Structure 1
Amino acid sequence: MATETIEELIKQTLNTIPWQTTLQLTLPAKHVPFVLHGPSILTGYRVPYKEWKYFFLSLFQLHNETVNVWSHLIGCIIISVKLYGYMDEFDVDKDYVMSTLLMFGISCLICLFTSANVHLLHSKSPYVHFVAFMVDYMGATISSFGSGIAGIYGLSEARSYRWLMPLYLPVIFISSYLNFVNLCLAKIWYGHDPHNIQRKYMFIIGMSIQALINMAPFVTRYEICFSNENCSMTSLNHLTLIQIVFILEAVTFAAYQPEKTWPGKFDIVGHGHQIFHVLIICNHVFQLDAIYADHDKKKLVSQ
């Protein structure tokens, strides 16, 4: 068979393959609207203004949002498996900790699933981009509220619980709502320029204030442990780990590293927002583990 005939046969075969199953070409940053740019992300952008099917099916394509989407979908699976394990171990009616684990776990699932969908679909157009990230902030706010619930019901010590409980739920509800407003305003005011640092400042300050409120129920445990000679600070490592990971989240969210140092080298895999996503999942898992560990320790003490 002639070489020309073989080449023609291959071309005809490739043309019959549905586009959904073939690797789609992506665009450099200069060919997509400026608002869709990721700082120092030079390539890997999907074609804007395509039909919705194109963006849904891009879940199975390689572009600069692929890792962001799949990291949170995998996070959903991890959280779901952990919750299933807790349900197998605890009785919702008898073990008070189960309701705390469920409430926080569900808030994590909402956050992760919402974020995965936002990163999957936001590149359709600038308008969709803005609306999608407002939805993303709703998911982040629900997760933040759930973290406050975990703090007061699952991680607090008795003195803090008695002192904070009368006002704590209204406080975290109002602070979570105000933080949502702050995130939305930051996006509306500065979101047209992906490089504007003011938006990052508003995000970090708002989320940091919320984190301090969420940590208030259990931070006093350090003071109690420090003043008790029979208590080792290593017994609070599970709480310390949560706070360290949160700080790392803030740093990776703001720094745009390593892509800022090496533009174009981490467009598809390894840029800062992908690292931020992984840290979010780690923090959710560590908080669930902390609630479980404290409950397990209390159970051993009571026996």
Structure 2
Amino acid sequence: MPATLSSHLGAPPLPLQVFHEQGILFGYRHPQSSATACVLSLFQMTNETLNIWTHLLPFWFFVWRFVTALYVIDVQNDSYSWPLLVYMSTSCVYPFASSCAHTFSSMSKNARHICFFLDYGAVNLFSLGSAIAYCAYSFPDTLVCTTFRDYYMTLAVLNTIISTGLSCYSRFLELHKPRLCKMLRVLAFAYPYTWDSLPILYRVFLFPGESPQNEVTLYHQKHVVMTLLASFFYSAHLPERLAPGFFDYIGHSHQLFHVCVILATHMQMEAILLDKTLRREWLMANTRALSFPQIAGAILLCLIFSLVNIIYFSAALYRMPEPELHKKET
């Protein structure tokens, strides 16, 4: 079988539309590729190649940052650093899961959905890792001893569970209700991010000078800007909508989305590392550090319920009847 399956200018049959993206005409891999063919496609130019590499290479960079952090931290005794290690480990998980999802998503229709179910679970695990790091190191001075901080982690866990379910459910609407599908998926990732970022938005935009250690403000602001830019590319399908077929291999919106997400994570990581170092003395004197049961419990709940969501929606794929050959809703 050929390594790629180029789309024709007309609408593909409905069962194949799950593999097609708006404005992307050519460079599709065969929709029943073997696992070996999927791996080999990393070294062939398809419309997924840069989607894979824009997360696979940063995965190794974040692994290197995580390993170097382990070398300088007394993991057993330095409880103040535990949230950082959780955050940095989750920052490795999501780009790896994304690169795997894009690599193996052409094995079959159901395999494609399951790959991205796992991708969504990894993204939400990273969202929780970010919330843990923010709660430990980046809360504004005026919120560190408030009821808001007491319930911040609880709602962050709840948000990740709901977000995983909502984003997985949205895939069932792709063919017949693509606009609703896109809206639900954007919402599924936007509202946990908004909740997680509320303390940062409060700190860097409303009261940027409240803390004597505010060198990290620029990093936090860059992180927010890059995240907004990533959301724009993910939602707008630009520039390929303006010139269908021209950006099939290089420069389409999902590639730009990946680059912005990685840059946002890099900015976020630098900000958290600075907050952890510069605010350590003040935070240890004025707040209680997150305990191991709190951190482990949050991660465990997220993993359990996210896996339940993924298993439930994966099983639902095999109970669904095959779609009829008609055009999808516009």
TM-score norm. by structure 1 comes to 0.82
Task: Confirm whether residue 102 of structure 1 aligns to residue 110 of structure 2.
Answer: no
Structure with the higher fraction of residues in helix conformation: 1
Alignment match, 1:248: 229
Alignment match, 1:283: 264
1:143–1:232 distance in 2 versus 1, CA, 3 Å: closer
Contact 2:3 2:41 in 1 (8 A): no
Contact 1:118 1:136 in 2 (8 A): yes
Distance between the aligned counterparts of 2:181 and 2:135, measured in 1? 30
Contact 1:160 1:218 in 2 (8 A): no
Task: Confirm whether residue 296 of structure 1 aligns to residue 280 of structure 2.
Answer: no
Task: Confirm whether residue 84 of structure 1 aligns to residue 62 of structure 2.
Answer: no
From the CA coordinates, give the structure whose radius of gyration is larger.
Answer: 1
Alignment match, 2:185: 203
Deviations 1:213-237 (A, max 9, x none): 10123333243445x5x97987611
Contact 1:43 1:267 in 2 (8 A): yes
Contact 1:152 1:218 in 2 (8 A): no
SS in 2 for 1:117: helix
Contact 2:216 2:275 in 1 (8 A): no
- Identity over aligned pairs, percent: 24
1:301–1:181 distance in 2 versus 1, CA, 3 Å: closer
Distance between the aligned counterparts of 2:118 and 2:282, measured in 1? 43
Distance between the aligned counterparts of 2:280 and 2:171, measured in 1? 46
Which of 199, 218, 230 pairs up with 1:217?
199
Higher relative contact order (CA 8 A, sep 6+): 2
Distance between the aligned counterparts of 1:168 and 1:141, measured in 2? 16
Contact 2:216 2:274 in 1 (8 A): no
Deviations 1:247-281 (A, max 9, x none): 11110101111111121111111111011111111
Deviation of 1:69 (Å): 0.8
Deviation of 1:116 (Å): 0.6
Name the aligned partner's letter for residue 184 of structure 1: C
1:300–1:62 distance in 2 versus 1, CA, 3 Å: same
Alignment match, 1:171: 155
Distance between the aligned counterparts of 1:170 and 1:298, measured in 2? 24
1:87–1:264 distance in 2 versus 1, CA, 3 Å: same
Distance between the aligned counterparts of 1:232 and 1:149, measured in 2? 20
Deviations 1:117-139 (A, max 9, x none): 11011112212112221111111
Task: Confirm whether residue 140 of structure 1 aligns to residue 140 of structure 2.
Answer: no
Distance between the aligned counterparts of 1:48 and 1:42, measured in 2? 15
Which of 112, 115, 126 pairs up with 2:95?
112
Give 5+ residue unaligned stretches, structure 1: 1-18
Name the aligned partner's letter for residue 263 of structure 1: P
Deviation of 1:93 (Å): 4.3
Distance between the aligned counterparts of 1:266 and 1:107, measured in 2? 31
Distance between the aligned counterparts of 1:143 and 1:83, measured in 2? 14
Alignment match, 2:250: 269
Alignment match, 1:10: none
SS in 1 for 2:105: helix
Task: Confirm whether residue 39 of structure 1 aligns to residue 22 of structure 2.
Answer: yes
Deviations 1:3-30 (A, max 9, x none): xxxxxxxxxxxxxxxx9xxxx6522124
